[in-house]
């Protein structure tokens, strides 16, 4: 599993922030048939960092994910969060995913 965090390029946004990426595969167990399978993950998010709660509130209409700059954040935590978002709550293997006869539990 590879993860990276790097600053948002000034040309993309005037706000400070990070681009968080998570790439690799995650071992999951299928919720429908119990088979173990690897889910490929290739995900990235832009996270903007506000100076304080007021600034954060003023951004709430934005589509970006925002965090307060005084929250304890580390690159590892950001990557872990990105990974959690990329993994389905109810994992299903590609075989079950492709089978329309299997309904959501």
Residues of this chain that interact with Zn ion (CB under 5 A) are 30, 32-33, 35, 93, 96
Query: In whole angstroms, how close is the CB of 85 to Zn ion at the nearest point?
Result: 22
Pairing of strands 2-7, 65-68: unpaired
Cβ proximity to Zn ion: between 63 and 90 the closer is 90
Query: In whole angstroms, how close is the CB of 35 to Zn ion at the nearest point?
Result: 5
Query: In whole angstroms, how close is the CB of 40 to Zn ion at the nearest point?
Result: 16
Q: C-alpha distances in angstroms, 49 versus 17, 34, 91, 101?
A: 5, 40, 31, 44
Instruction: For residues 83 and 44, give the distance between their C-alpha atoms in angstroms, rounded to a whole number.
Output: 9
Cβ proximity to Zn ion: between 35 and 85 the closer is 35
Cβ proximity to Zn ion: between 35 and 84 the closer is 35
């Amino acid at each position: 599993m590879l993860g990276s965090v790097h600053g948002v390029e000034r040309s993309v946004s005037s706000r400070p922030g990070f681009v968080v990426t998570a790439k690799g595969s995650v071992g999951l167990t299928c919720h429908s048939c119990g088979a173990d399978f690897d889910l490929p993950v290739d995900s990235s998010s832009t996270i903007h960092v506000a100076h304080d709660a007021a600034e954060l509130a003023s951004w709430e209409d934005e589509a970006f994910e925002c965090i307060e700059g005084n929250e304890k954040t580390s690159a590892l935590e950001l990557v872990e969060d990105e990974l959690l978002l990329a993994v389905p709550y109810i994992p299903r293997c590609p075989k079950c995913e492709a089978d329309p006869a299997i309904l959501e539990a």
